[in-house]
Structure 1
Amino acid sequence: MNSKILMAVALNLIFVAILLIWPLMSSPKFMISIEEKTVPLGGKLNFTISFPSTPSKVTAEVIDAELNRTVYITSLPSSREINGSIGIEEGKYRIGFHILRIRATLNGQDITEESYFSVFGAPPLELELKVENPVLTVRITNSTYAEVRDRVYARVTMGGKPVENAKLLAVSLGSNSTVTEYVRTDGDGRASLEWRANVTENSTFRVVVQAMKPGHPIASGNVTIEVIVKKD
């Protein structure tokens, strides 16, 4: 058998060996299964990790793919099958592409596998506004104007549940009137805005409020305050 034939046979054997070994080299060492590949802001990322044997150490990381920044990291229990859940908190996660990276020590070897998911916008906010005194009566004596004050109460919810730390921006429409321009909601989704105006005659003012939080469509609302002026 000449050398060319021997060389061809050897190359064929090497090629066959690569075909047989390649799936073993490229296949994942463990499996990550994500329940839903798209997760709403404020929702939960549910996943299952399956190992061929029990790992000695497991760590889960979530990486913002666009910024290449670790958003969350936690240790997981050592088990052949792990069911995990990570809260996609508002204000912490951005809308867009993310990576779930699992690091495990398996049979003394450190192994990393990844899976991917997207975060999308949360449901719209609901804004409820109420004026402490919708109609104010003021008397002007020995002066050209009178100062009046009132309070606007706001509550922000989502699906009927309170939204904490929502940002409220407000403006008062009407001459010589002001309102608290910026405030955030408390744990019950509530906030209070102080309104003031200098009046010389009967007037109606409108207070416009916008509620916003990252990932949510902006919610808007308005209330009116009527001022009745009596002069001596």
Structure 2
Amino acid sequence: MTVFLGLMIPFLGTTLGAACVFFLKKELGANVQKALLGFASGVMVAASVWSLLIPSMDLSASMGRLAFVPACGGLLAGMAFLLLMDRVIPHLHMGAEKAEGPSCSLKKSTMLVLAVTLHNIPEGMAVGVVFAGMLAENAHITTAAAFALAIGIAIQNFPEGAIISLPLKAENDMSRGKAFLGGMLSGVVEPIAAFLTILLSDLLTPVLPWFLSFAAGAMLYVVVEELIPEASEGEHSNIGTIGFAVGFALMMVLDVALG
């Protein structure tokens, strides 16, 4: 039950964010969106470092000076995996006119949800692999550390849920209920990816350092390829940078204080 609750926390964050469509009449302002995107970037970068890469190197300490190999190799593999997914899955980023991936006849709203869904996969993997490490006897990942990551991702999922549901209603003339459902469903891939990772925990334990850094690489790809560029679009503003700093600091506090 503890693991189940932990894996569902990030999805709860997305659902609550998507529910903003019932309370807000129009889209979030440009500066608010930039701040939230910067905040999400900060949380994901801090989570990648403190919750994934550092534990990966700690678990590889027996390799001495080569302890960086699983962390470095897994990070690059995670980035390569998301790069491949970007190429083979049709999706449309918020505010973009041209879809990425192979050409298809999917609706714009569907590809918007696919874009967020695609980039939620590494977050689900990250939570799943940390809870898999918690269940492993020799991984030295505490329950508090696993929940710190889950809570941090849930916090950054809240604005993501709002950022997807509000434009779905405004730009596609959807009902509030359908827009909420679209925003909520964009996050359902996270617990699915996390549960699949847990099911593979017996296989993951011997290579846990690699999978921790793989999840970190996938998350950092999302930050660099999508979140930071979107937070910097339009008229120059430092609001995204401020949001990044707040998100990074908050996730660092959560991981150190609870871990």
Structure 2 length-normalised TM: 0.19
Higher Rg of the two aligned structures: 1
Which of the pair has the greater relative contact order for Cα pairs under 8 Å at 6+ separation? 2
Structure 1 length-normalised TM: 0.20
Task: Select the structure that is richer in strand.
Answer: 1
Task: Select the structure that is richer in helix.
Answer: 2
